[in-house]
A and B are shown apart, each in its own frame.
Chain A
Amino acid sequence: MTFDSDILPSARAASPQGPDAWTSLAAATLLGLAALVGFAQAAPAQALLNVSYDPTRELYRDYNAWFADWWVAQGHPRPEIQTSHGGSGAQARAVIDGLGAQVVTLALASDIDAIASRTDRIPAEWQQALPQNSSPYTSTIVFLVREGNPETIQDWDDLIRDGIEVITPNPKTSGGARWNYLAAWGYAQENGLDPRAFVGALYRNVPVLDTGARGATTTFVQRGLGDVLLAWENEAYLALAELGDDQFDIVVPSISVLAEPPVALVPGNVTDDATRALASAYLEQLYSPEGQAIALRNFYRAWDTSAAAPEDVARFPEVNRLPIDYFGGWAVAQPEHFADGGVFDQIYTAP
């Protein structure tokens, strides 16, 4: 620090900028506030928030558009339907913490159970409220293989052959990967094989365990690792649409699992009768022929094919799908197979 002979000129030269800076700060703040007020005013009277899980964007975009038209045709004002997407467990947590969903459409019944048990916003017997265990659409685990199926992978027993590399995420961290594991287990059990040895052989063919389904898809598609990716059927079709179906094929095995992503009304977040009517109709119409056709078009298996385009139905070959009850339900299967020291730990660490 030396002499301050230069302060006065520099201070004088810059002094007009001082107040200017404050004016622009204030102006920017006002601008931001104005924008936020704009956001706040955007909510109309008939609004509905559907809190959903990750890859349902296209499904609910289509369905929201159809449903809004249908609701107007019933003589109601046009509703504004909002959707939120994220990991199923995290979305359930957000609803528990106060995210104001009138409707939840999640991946697992246990996620909706968590909302029901930790808050009083959903009744405990929610799964009886709608047909088919409150699951308007289902999905299953299939194989994504490289174009032309160079390793001729047809069924689960092809995955334990020497030299085949299987890409599947870690069942300890990924919900989808648990289904992959159980599907292989069920195949072995149904075919009179020792399921423990079979699944162990399969996981010896897994070169890398990603933490989640999206990471495993990246490993298989972008990094080019592996001969077969175990994936959700609806996500496999999404990946195909995104990556071009000239690079990959989908193979449906003889036996797989029946995953039922459930939907539920959240009465605790419904404030008036008009919203209740809207939210209930929103869920009920998922079971209408048109709603089912939209699910089929978005690569989910649905129950009612009467209004669907033939190619959306023909896409899904018959497969023997084992429900979670086959494995004793999640309450039994989860600790038995995936807890620390469970069957997966025993077979995966075994050399």
Chain B
Amino acid sequence: MAHCVPLAARPRRLRSATTEPRVVKGVLIALCLAVLSVLLFAPLIAVFDEALRRGWAFALASLGEPDAQAAIRLTLSVAALVVPLNAAFGIAAAWAITKFDWRGKAWVITLIDLPFSISPVVAGLLFVLMFGANSAFGAWLVASGFPIVFAVPGIVLATLFITFPFIARELIPVMLEQGRAEEEAALTLGASGSRVFLTVTLPNIRWALLYGVLLCNARAMGEFGAVAVVSGKIRGQTTTMPLMIEMFYNEYLSVAAFTMASVLALLAFVTLVLKSALEWRHADQLAATHRH
């Protein structure tokens, strides 16, 4: 390391016990930036650079293809379906776990974490085993014209499964920290259960909920492993954006692949900006809910 050489040559200086020497700070920050640039910035720039290798017009033209458009539409509709459902499930689970006492609670918490601990490929295979043509139920579904696996419902189910823990996991710690005092106060003042939820609980958790929704959305759009197993990869029908990226890449269409990857990265970027903008606008409220 280049900065270490002058350091050794320098005479020792007195330093305050509570602050790090400036050199240590500098080295730590530099290290951090170096790691970030190698792991994050450089690959991100490489993705955009590869997408624009033949210019904007070529990159945009690859997005104009019907296959690419169908993939973007499918990914957005799956996310639009999965995120609200998981928001509802996540709120219900977190509400039940943190505001009530019942037997088997620990077991349910483990169950919520299950999708985190199972490999997405295995999750996808589970759906194929359950709903594929080799199970009696799956064969009946296929015969009656409502296939789940290798069709859009399978993709929705797989994504729902994979992103299930995101919102609940975000809400549970916040709601545990907040405790039940506010709800109890509302109840003693005569509020009904639904009123307590809508006017006390929900406003208190809305920031955690927003984080959860953003995380869930990012994963729902980016999920590859489980979706790849259940998709069947039919062009224009069951190919999501991450699958389309892989397909383009394998077909030696790297500009199309990396343009699609850039769009996916930009979608994630937009949600980040949205989150920061909301945080900035509601900074005072955010501070208030964290004042406990």
Segment touching A, from B6-14, B93-101, B103-111, B128-136: B128-136
**In A1-47, which residues have CB < 8 Å from any B CB?**
1-2, 4, 6-7, 10-15, 17-19, 21, 25-26, 28-29, 31-33, 35-36, 39-40, 42
Q: Given that A2-B292, A11-B182 are contacting pairs, would A36 and B81 also be in contact in the complex, using a CB cutoff of 8 Å?
A: yes
Question: Shortest distance in angstroms between A68's beta carbon and chain B's nearest beta carbon?
Answer: 14
Q: Do residues A100 and B142 form an inter-chain contact, with CB atoms below 8 A?
A: yes
State the majority secondary structure of interface residues on A. helix
Q: Do residues B150 and A99 form an inter-chain contact, with CB atoms below 8 A?
A: yes
Q: Do residues B81 and A14 form an inter-chain contact, with CB atoms below 8 A?
A: no
Contacts of A94 in B (CB 8 A): 150, 232-233
| Residue from the set B78, B200, B247, B252 with the largest chain A CB neighbour count within 10 Å | B252
Q: Do residues A97 and B77 form an inter-chain contact, with CB atoms below 8 A?
A: no
Q: Do residues B77 and A35 form an inter-chain contact, with CB atoms below 8 A?
A: yes
Q: Do residues A19 and B198 form an inter-chain contact, with CB atoms below 8 A?
A: yes
| Residue from the set B85, B233, B289 with the largest chain A CB neighbour count within 10 Å | B233
Cross-chain contact of A32 among B80, B87, B153 (Cβ < 8 A): B80
How many interface residues does A have (CB within 8 Å)? 54
Cross-chain contact of A26 among B84, B150, B179 (Cβ < 8 A): B84
Instruction: For the complex, give the distance between the alpha carbons of A82 and B128 in Å.
Output: 21
Q: Do residues B233 and A35 form an inter-chain contact, with CB atoms below 8 A?
A: no
Determine whether A54 belongs to the interface, using a CB cutoff of 8 Å to chain B. yes
Q: Do residues A100 and B147 form an inter-chain contact, with CB atoms below 8 A?
A: yes
Instruction: For the complex, give the distance between the alpha carbons of A17 and B178 in Å.
Output: 19
Q: Do residues A39 and B152 form an inter-chain contact, with CB atoms below 8 A?
A: yes
Q: Do residues B142 and A4 form an inter-chain contact, with CB atoms below 8 A?
A: no
Q: Given that A26-B84, A85-B251, A98-B132 are contacting pairs, would A7 and B78 also be in contact in the complex, using a CB cutoff of 8 Å?
A: no
Q: Do residues B235 and A18 form an inter-chain contact, with CB atoms below 8 A?
A: no
Instruction: For the complex, give the distance between the alpha carbons of A119 and B152 in Å.
Output: 24
Cross-chain contact of B292 among A1, A51, A58, A214 (Cβ < 8 A): A1
Q: Do residues A238 and B252 form an inter-chain contact, with CB atoms below 8 A?
A: yes
**Nearest A residue to B70, CB-CB:** A39
19 contacts between A and B (CB under 8 A): A7-B182, A10-B288, A13-B285, A17-B202, A21-B206, A26-B84, A29-B85, A40-B152, A82-B235, A82-B237, A85-B247, A97-B149, A97-B150, A98-B139, A98-B149, A100-B147, A238-B251, A238-B252, A241-B252
Q: Which residues of B contact A (CB under 8 A)?
A: 73-74, 76-85, 87-88, 128, 132-134, 138-139, 142, 147, 149-150, 152-153, 156, 177-179, 181-182, 185-186, 197-200, 202-204, 206, 209, 232-237, 247, 249-254, 285, 288-289, 291-292
